[in-house]
Amino acid sequence: MFTTRFAPSPTGRLHKGHAFSALTAWAAAKAAGGRFVLRIEDIDPTRCRPEYEAGILEDLAWLGLDREAPVRRQSDHLSDYAAVIENLRTRGLLYRCFRTRKEILSAIGDAPHGAMEAARPGPHSADEEARLLASGAPFAWRLSLDRARETLGEAAWNGLSFVEKGQGPNGETGVFAVDPEAAGDVVLARKDTGVAYHLAVTHDDALQGVTHVIRGRDLFEATHVQRLIQTLMGWPAPTYCHHALLTGPDGRRYAKRDRSITLAELRAGGLTAAALRAELGFSSAG
């Protein structure tokens, strides 16, 4: 069954860009007679807040978007992600990395042959790793692209692809070849949460039976590493639909970091849900 999702992080209140994305996914599910799933992606304990999650639920209810219950909250399922990390670790696909984000960024800036080599720092020596572990130094688990390539084999590695029915970087649709090395040896588990975005989102899409990932074009490049993870874990490949990003009168896309006006503020100012849906190109939520 056609299943899609809206998966916000409760790090602030929703704005018009979020409303557009949620309505796009919801309308697609309705048109297909399928499922619309809400997922709360709250694995960042430093930025996520219960009041923002409550605000998300309030805003979606105001927009008139019905959804399946219960809502999956990622922070309630950290053991699920830990099991995947253990699976990948025992297969030799992960390595401990004690380098800080600052050190990695510095290495990228200093790399003589481009950023990609620095984005693949590789394992520490056995002696150094033992010393760092004994010292209690924090570390992250990184996906080893070298081991991933060995595991999949050259044919599968070179044949990775995904179906795009929305808008690629230049507005195109069709089958896109995956560049497994695009993001380097990405972090799949962080010291503070035990999981990072790419692993959590691919796990939950598979678990929840998501057949169509409908999201903003700013996440198009994330598809490369996510398809690699799906393939390594034997999870199904969704169809992707990246939509254009909603922009304000100044031409800039709506974003939390820019303190874009929120749906709560619009509501308090007298805007109705029907008026907002019409403005965004959705005549009805019924």
List active site positions: 256
Element (H or E) spanning 52, and its range? Answer: helix 50-63
**Any idea what the Cα angle at residue 180 is, between residues 7 and 133, rounded to 5°?**
80
| Two tokens, residue 84 | 């995947």
Give how far Cα 21 sits from Cα of 167, 171, 213, 268, 272, Å: 14, 17, 11, 21, 18
| Longest CA–CA separation in the chain, Å | 64
- Measured on CA atoms in the order 46, 24, 223, 239, is the torsion positive or negative? positive
Q: How far apart are CA 243 and CA 67, in angstroms?
A: 21
Residues facing residue 243 across a β-bridge:
216
Residue 9 zone, left/alpha/beta (φ > 0; ψ -120 to 50; rest): beta
Contact 39, 70 (CB under 8 A): no
Q: How far apart are CA 58 and CA 52, in angstroms?
A: 10
